């Protein structure tokens, strides 16, 4: 239980700040960058954007909206009846039984008003103090729902960070949480934003309540709710198309995107959605993580619940991309983000920024922004995680557990290779329907870290890493016979056919340049090639040894046997030395460079293939070669600062766009490591204030000074592969 401090006794909490100071704190967080409204061109682009969203099917029909409301009414009646039944069974008076109540709240995309057709509804049931989660919710209410014909795919997850019961009610997906608050009778008009609701509740209840409290607070803090909703709907669609929408995989989920969009709405209060989308990419493509994104000052309360504070909490200092929830207790909603997934997202932010520039210059259309990310052409090497079970019901449970742990595999690979082997987990799920058993598969792209001098014959032995991951997976408390996981290495040419449901079609253009970008400018072409450094990407494209597929000759894909799962089973894998069974990763021995010799653009370091394993001394050397993962490199920052001063002296101020770009002219590199966040609040405020400075930069000038580590090139990689025994 979280022990709360009574206002009338115990230790005395620090006095709250005076009203004037509190208002000043809020003002400095909400001070806008620009008050400019839309021009005629902005209005025209906004009309086109809204039409595109409608044509893309992002809005539900009136019939589906009515069905959702009916399901919520029915669910509300069920939980009310459930609480009355428990009250009667426990011997309370007739009056108490009559007054017994539970209420249903919604949160997430449904509460924010940005849900689409077929989306689930995040719901929270709040009940009285004598109705608990472990027995009453996950057993008694679970059994009530299981007996109802309207309920299908019932899946309780009591051990989750936020315990949840998942099911479909009349075909509509429901995620139901439960919170037992410290009152005997729950009023129908309960104010969930009142801080007193958090008295004498456990941490799981605090987390369950936080979803609704955060959603309500976000809607209160944005200047225009409708503009916020349209912009958020657009950005969520973009994130899903580009493969960066998944909190469980290490990217960002719904609440993360909502907070990011809400912050842009605060900075541009008079902007319409077409402007807000452009500003979103402009700001976050240059944001200097781990500076936190916050909608309001972090609140402290007499309850003394844990809040995000890297000055006091050691763990908070290692958060890579902090996005702080606005409701007490303020938490980092993006703690799942890793170095690898931040790199991928920053790459995509830069990509979106360049396309929006083309749209503003009338050189492209909104459809170009939402082109799907061609993941299976992005890398030469992949990890394939196959999940199998005896039937679909078992697979539903098993897959949910494995997917929730995939982020750990990314973190372990980063840890054991000292960040030199970069992973790109792809949040999409695939299935091989030709298998006799229920099957699901996830993939991770692999590449050697860019911009770091490589060693000749360097390899990464990740056998123990994957074995450690597998041991954690098979410790699943609800494991059943037939539930298996196989992790194997596949090269691009060996990708299974089931990941190409529409047939395998190799793009004829150089890597990652979509057909939709043929009419775009050079910057957008570079964006689709995945480059964070235009010069490097251009050089590598011109190097025939670096391009995996020639533009004029599509590459043939080697067919894969449908029996590949058997060949990666633990029993079929034996080591050469002792014949001892190895873990199910096709006995991966290491990651090494291909036979081709390539030249690193930055270091002129030639990388050749070798069969030798990476020894401990080499690992230490690899660790020494790591570069800063966030912020600007010092010398680059100095060049940028000098360049900004020159431009300012010669050309003066260039309006709103200059203000948008101004924080690349910061006079010092603030908080380049999460270990130095002592002044994180001031740094975050300074970030917003620096946006007001005017630096008359052109796009080309700014792209030359892109962050060297946080926006690493996704696609112009050296040829990395895993060696199988």
Q: Say how far apart CA 55 and CA 165 lie, in whole Å.
A: 34
Q: Say how far apart CA 717 and CA 634 lie, in whole Å.
A: 25
Cα torsion angle, 407, 453, 664, 318, sign: positive
Residue 165: name the closest of 187, 147, 143 by CA.
143
Inter-residue contact 430 to 495 (CB < 8 Å): no
Residue 350: beta bridge partners? none
Alpha helices by DSSP H, 90-224: 94-99, 108-112, 142-146, 203-221
Instruction: Collapse the DSSP code of 562 into the 3-class scheme (helix H, G, I; strand E, B; otherwise coil) and give the result.
Output: coil
Alpha helices by DSSP H, 31-154: 40-55, 62-89, 94-99, 108-112, 142-146
| Residue 570: how many other CB atoms lie within 10 Å | 17
Beta strands across the sheet bearing 720-724: 459-460, 588-593, 720-724
Beta-strand relationship, 606-607 and 459-460? unpaired
Inter-residue contact 674 to 318 (CB < 8 Å): yes
Q: Say how far apart CA 45 and CA 40 lie, in whole Å.
A: 9
Q: Say how far apart CA 592 and CA 456 lie, in whole Å.
A: 10
Alpha helices by DSSP H, 481-613: 522-528, 534-542, 564-567
Residue 74: name the closest of 48, 104, 35 by CA.
104
User: Residues 6 or more apart from 479 whose CB is under 8 A from it?
Assistant: 398
| Residue 396: how many other CB atoms lie within 10 Å | 15
Supply the residues annotated as catalytic: 109, 120, 122, 175, 236, 245
Could you give the C-alpha distances from 438 to 240, 350, 392, 404, 435, in angstroms and in order?
A: 25, 39, 6, 19, 7
Residue 365 structure tokens: 């259309």
Inter-residue contact 215 to 336 (CB < 8 Å): no
Please tell me the number of Cα atoms within 13 Å of 263 on its side-chain side. 27
């Amino acid at each position: 239980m979280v022990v709360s401090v009574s206002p009338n006794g115990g230790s005395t909490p620090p006095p709250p700040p005076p009203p004037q100071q509190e208002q000043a704190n809020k003002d400095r967080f909400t001070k806008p960058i620009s008050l400019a409204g839309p021009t005629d061109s902005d209005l025209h682009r906004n009309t086109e954007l809204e039409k595109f969203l409608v044509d893309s099917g992002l809005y539900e029909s009136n019939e589906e909206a009515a069905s959702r409301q009916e399901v919520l009414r029915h669910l509300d009646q069920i939980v009310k009846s459930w609480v009355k039944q428990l009250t009667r069974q426990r011997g309370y008076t007739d009056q108490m039984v009559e007054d017994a109540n539970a209420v249903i709240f919604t949160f997430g995309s449904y509460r924010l008003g940005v849900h689409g057709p077929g989306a689930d509804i995040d719901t929270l049931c709040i009940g009285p103090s004598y109705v608990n989660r472990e027995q009453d919710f996950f057993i008694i209410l679970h059994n009530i729902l299981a007996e109802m014909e309207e309920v299908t795919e019932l899946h309780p997850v009591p051990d989750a960070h936020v315990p949840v019961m998942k099911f479909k009610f009349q075909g509509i997906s429901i995620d139901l949480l439960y919170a037992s608050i410290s009152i005997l009778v729950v009023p129908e008009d309960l104010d969930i934003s009142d801080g007193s609701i958090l008295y004498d509740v456990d941490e799981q209840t605090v987390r369950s309540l936080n979803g609704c409290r955060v959603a309500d607070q976000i809607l209160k803090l944005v200047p225009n709710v409708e503009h916020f909703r349209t912009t958020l709907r657009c950005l969520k669609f973009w994130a899903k198309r580009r493969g960066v929408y998944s909190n469980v995989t290490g990217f960002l989920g719904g609440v993360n995107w909502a907070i990011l969009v809400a912050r842009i709405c605060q900075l541009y209060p008079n902007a319409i959605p077409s402007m807000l989308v452009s500003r979103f990419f402009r700001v976050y493509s240059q944001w200097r993580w781990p500076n936190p994104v916050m909608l309001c000052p972090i609140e402290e309360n007499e309850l003394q619940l844990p809040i995000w504070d890297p000055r006091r909490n050691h763990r908070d200092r290692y958060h890579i991309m902090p996005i702080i929830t606005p409701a007490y207790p303020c938490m980092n909603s993006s703690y799942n983000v890793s170095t690898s997934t931040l790199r991928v997202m920053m790459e995509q932010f830069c990509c979106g920024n360049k396309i929006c520039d083309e749209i503003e210059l009338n050189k492209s259309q909104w459809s170009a922004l939402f082109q799907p990310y061609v993941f299976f052409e992005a890398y030469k090497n992949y990890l394939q995680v196959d999940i199998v079970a005896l039937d679909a019901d078992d697979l539903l449970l098993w897959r949910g557990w494995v997917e929730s742990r995939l982020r750990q595999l990314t973190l372990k690979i980063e840890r054991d290779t000292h960040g030199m082997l970069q992973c790109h987990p792809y949040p999409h799920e695939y299935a091989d329907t030709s298998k006799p058993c229920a099957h699901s598969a996830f993939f991770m792209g692999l590449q050697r870290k860019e911009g770091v001098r490589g060693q000749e014959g360097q390899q990464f032995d990740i056998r123990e890493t994957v074995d450690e991951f597998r041991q954690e997976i098979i410790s699943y408390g609800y494991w059943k016979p037939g539930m298996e996981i196989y992790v194997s290495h596949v090269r691009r040419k060996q990708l299974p056919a089931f990941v190409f449901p529409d047939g395998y079609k190799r793009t004829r253009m150089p890597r990652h340049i979509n057909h939709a970008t043929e009419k775009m400018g050079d910057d957008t072409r570079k964006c689709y090639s995945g480059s964070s450094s235009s010069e490097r990407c251009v050089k590598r494209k011109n190097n025939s040894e670096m391009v995996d597929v020639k533009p004029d000759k599509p590459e043939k894909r080697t067919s894969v046997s449908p029996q590949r799962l058997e060949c990666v089973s633990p029993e079929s894998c034996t080591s050469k030395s002792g014949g001892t069974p190895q873990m199910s990763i096709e006995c991966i021995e290491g990651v090494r460079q291909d036979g081709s010799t390539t030249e690193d653009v930055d270091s002129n370091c030639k990388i050749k293939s070798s069969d030798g394993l990476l020894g401990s001394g080499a690992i230490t050397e690899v660790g020494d070669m790591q570069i800063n993962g966030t912020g600007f490199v010092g010398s680059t920052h100095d060049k940028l600062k000098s360049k900004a001063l020159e431009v300012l002296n010669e050309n003066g101020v260039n309006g709103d766009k200059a203000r948008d770009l101004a924080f690349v002219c910061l006079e010092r590199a603030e908080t380049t490591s999460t270990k130095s966040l002592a002044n994180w609040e001031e740094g975050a405020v300074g970030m917003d204030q620096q946006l007001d400075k005017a630096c008359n930069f052109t796009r080309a000038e700014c792209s030359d000074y892109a962050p060297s580590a946080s926006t690493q090139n996704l696609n112009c990689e050296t040829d990395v592969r895993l060696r199988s025994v």
